[in-house]
Amino acid sequence: MLPVDPPFPPIALCADAEAAPFEFENSRKFLRCWRGHCHDNELPRADELNLGAMKSLLPELLIYDVVDAATIRFRLAGTLVVKRMGFEPRGMNMIELTPPRIRGQVGLAFTVVAQHRIGIVSHFSHIYEGGRPGRVEMVMLPLGAPEGQPPRVMTLVSREAYEGRAPFGLEETADRVEDATLIDLGYGFPDIGALLARAA
């Protein structure tokens, strides 16, 4: 496991997914789409996703293979994500592109979502063109993977608009997570205190 530095941001628990503290309507839509793919109390399977039903969300959608906390590979990146990054990240290790200061936190978040079937909504701020800060909301949800493949996590990123448009020209990636809320998706919560103690 990667070392976790700095200390964790404030972490809240949300037992009712409908009451999750989303700031963007797309986040609620994302959760509804995910729930619409759940059958017989099983996670949505990555190979059975109806991406057409999520068409309006696809430009900001990401799917990752979660090998372990230090290896989280991009599997799918939406068109706006690719445009902001300036390259196609498929197959790359997301952790290597994450600011070193928060790699441990990010790796832990992805493995907790993948292994314990919870959701996470978190907030942070990037710096965009002209030094303008932009608040970002990221929602992480687990996916079932085909037999013999690592578990997957699907994320949607929503950004605070300015001047009537989504921000581009990423100058500086956030190196601090402002807050995180763990969402019960119907499978219960793991022992969060034990997880954090083990990661510290």
Q: What is the pLDDT of residue 122?
A: 93
Q: What is the pLDDT of residue 91?
A: 97
Q: What residues of the chain score a pLDDT lower than 50?
A: 1-3
Q: What is the pLDDT of residue 189?
A: 86
Three-state DSSP class for residue 100: helix
Cis? peptide before 6, omega within 30° of 0? yes
Q: Are 125 and 134 a contacting pair, CB within 8 Å?
A: yes
Q: Which domains are assigned to the chain?
A: 11-185 (3.30.450.20)
Q: Whole-model pTM? A: 0.88
Task: Say how far residue 174 (Cα) sits from the centre of its chain.
Answer: 14
Residue 76's CB is within 10 A of a number of other CB atoms, namely 17
Residue 86 in tokens: 């300036």
Three-state DSSP class for residue 75: strand
DSSP 133-186: EEEEEEEEEEEB--TTS--EEEEEEEE--BTTB------B------EEEEEE-S
